[in-house]
Amino acid sequence: MSPTRLINCQSLEQLNLANNNLTTVALLGLRPDRLTYESIEVLDHLTNASLDKQEHLIRRAHPVLLGLRSLRSLILSGNPRIFASINLTLDGKHWVRARQRNENTELLHSIPDSDHLTRQGIFPLTLNELHLAYCSITQMAGLTTLPVLHTINLAHNHIVDMASLSMLRFSSMLRTLNLMENPITEQNNYRSHLICLFPHLTTLDERPVDVKEKVGDLAHSFPLFSWIRQK
């Protein structure tokens, strides 16, 4: 995937890149022909700590998805080599620069001041539907700053603990979550814990969340509420 193929698609609202053998290199908009083999290997397993030390890579980065300022629905399922990019975040300065490489000059006034910007992922803030099934995901720090995210599909990944998922609480509009076939689903009271963690969910693992479940989980979390119900 070449960044130039998407750079003029700023009005695009839906994008399906499932099963395309994408890599972190591609999502960061880095040209493999200008990278050493060692750099590509590092990028495929990149962490936020190592990214911060790779200033030369950040300067070259051209995250293609950040340029899609109207994107609402994104399907990346079936691309297991992008797992590192799901956890990547850029500090305010580098995120703004990355946005500027993708935006027209007349749109730059809408970019937040980097001095007051926390770390941001490489996904457009406009996303309300994101599909990341079969992407070998274990962590997801790069998804914590998606303010209008409504639906996320994380089925068939390697998510094992609630701490990873708790980061999604910053997406206050989240209503549909799919974690089917992740190790975390085998934990005791998994569904109850998830409903408690995300009280606004309406669908979990392709099953509706009903009122009884929500009330039951509230009672479990707050014993006083349970006592009041019995009176």
Q: Specify the amino acid at residue 186.
A: E
Instruction: For the chain, list residues with pLDDT below 50.
Output: 1, 3-4, 34-42, 50, 95, 104-117, 222-231
Q: Count of CB atoms within 10 A of residue 5's CB? A: 9
User: What Cα–Cα distance (Å) separates residue 160 from each residue in 124, 180, 182, 184, 190?
Assistant: 26, 12, 7, 4, 11
Q: In a 3-state reduction of DSSP, which class is residue 85?
A: helix
Read off the pLDDT of residues 144-168 as tens digits, 9 standing for 90 and up: 889 999 999 999 999 999 988 988 8
3-state secondary structure of 78: coil
Residue 141: per-residue pLDDT: 84
> What is the C-alpha separation between 90 and 158, in angstroms, rounded?
24
Question: How many CA atoms does the CB half-sphere of 165 hold within 13 Å?
Answer: 26
Q: Look up the pTM and report it.
A: 0.78
Q: How far apart are CA 116 and CA 120, in angstroms?
A: 12
Q: Where are the domains of the chain?
A: 3-187
- pLDDT of amino acid 112: 46
Q: Is 71 in contact with 31 (CB distance < 8 Å)?
A: no
pLDDT of 221 reads: 54
228-231: long-range contacts (C-beta < 8 A, 24 or more apart)?
none
CA–chain centroid gap for 49, Å, is 18
Tell me what pLDDT residue 35 has.
Answer: 47
Q: In this predicted structure, what is the pLDDT of residue 16?
A: 95
Residue 47 has, within 13 A of its CA and on its CB side, a CA count of 4
* pLDDT for the residue numbered 160: 95
Helices (H) and strands (E) in the chain, counts: 10, 7
Residue 64, CA distances (Å) to 85, 117, 166 in order: 12, 20, 27
Cα-based torsion angle of the residue sequence 67, 81, 168, 187 in order, rounded to the nearest 10 degrees: 170
- The CATH number of domain 3-187, selected from 3.80.10, 1.20.58, 3.30.70, 3.40.50: 3.80.10
Residue 97, judged by CB atoms within 10 A of its CB (0-12, 13-18, 19+), counts as: middle
Separation between Cα atoms, residue 167 and residue 187, nearest integer Å: 19
